Amino acid sequence: MEDILLTRKTIRKYRKEHIPQQTLDYILQAGIRASNCGNMQLYSFIITKDEDRKKQYAPLHFNQPMIQDADVVITVCADINRFNHWCEINRAEKSLNNFLFLNIATIDATIAAQAITAAAESKGLGVCWLGTVNYMADEISKFFNLPDGVVPVACLTIGVPDEEPGVTERLPLDAVVHGETYHDYSDEQIQQMYKAIEENPVNIAYVKENNKENLAQVFSEVRYAKGGNEEFSRHYKQYVEDTFIKK
């Protein structure tokens, strides 16, 4: 397991092979065994395997090919609907429709998604996380007919790998680990911490392709540009207020 965790790779290309149901059940069981707040398990997993459904789902992830190529697509949702229903039929107050529990349910769903990822990789399968869920939450909600109180959080594509990419670079431990209190960074420390990432030939080419001076500009001005972020943020905030945080 240690090797899997420390050398994990994002897999975007898959063989046309089916995952046995027993293996998929194991992966999902690993998800529900993950840590969560108060053992309320404020999440749900939506499994997409049908080829037509995957084809219809792909545009909601900007037509990234992994959606159609993977054998299984799992959309992990923050879910207070089930808990609220349980409270309602037991004459208990519904108390989770607020920002605090949106955050808690999102954390629980993310922890479960990571457990699913580790379980799948332990079985030799490849996984890709798609962050497009956050950009298209409202549209994905309609696609899956999600009731109020259910918000998509993560999308995982899972299948038998058909590629062997290298391990993606990460920041060194001293960039993210703080002893006892948070220690802010000097300019020199920041430059040193990002040096290896910036000198990666793939990222050097990435900067050149986008006609920018450096990798930071590519991330903040192209890949995650402020204007687009703010527009998607407004859309997401309104969706959450309308469907999760209700008076």
- With vertex at residue 107, the alpha carbon angle to CA 104 and CA 112, rounded to the nearest 5 degrees, is 125
Cross-strand bridge partners of residue 79: 150
Evaluate if residue 247 carries a pLDDT over 70.
Answer: no
Q: Identify whether the C-beta of residue 94 lies closer than 8 Å to the C-beta of residue 9.
A: no
Locate the DSSP E strands across the chain. 43-48, 72-79, 126-130, 150-159
Q: Identify whether the C-beta of residue 135 lies closer than 8 Å to the C-beta of residue 64.
A: no
Q: What is the pLDDT of residues 144-196, one digit of tens each?
A: 999 999 999 999 999 999 999 988 889 999 999 999 999 999 999 999 999 99
Closest CA to 34 of 92, 118, 103, 91: 118
12's CB contacts (< 8 A; 6+ apart) are 65, 66, 128, 157, 163
pLDDT of residue 2: 65
Mean pLDDT over 74-101 rounds to: 96
Say which DSSP state 10 is in: B
Tell me the pTM. 0.94
Q: Report how far residue 154's alpha carbon sits from residue 235's, in angstroms, rounded to the nearest whole number.
A: 17
Q: Identify whether the C-beta of residue 127 lies closer than 8 Å to the C-beta of residue 117.
A: yes
List, in order of start, the domains of the chain with CATH numbers: 2-166 (3.40.109.10)
Average pLDDT, the chain: 96
State the pLDDT confidence band at 91, using cuts at 50, 70 and 90. Answer: very high
Q: Identify whether the C-beta of residue 155 lies closer than 8 Å to the C-beta of residue 74.
A: yes
- With vertex at residue 58, the alpha carbon angle to CA 53 and CA 61, rounded to the nearest 5 degrees, is 135
Q: Tell me what percent of the residues of the chain surpass a pLDDT of 90.
A: 93
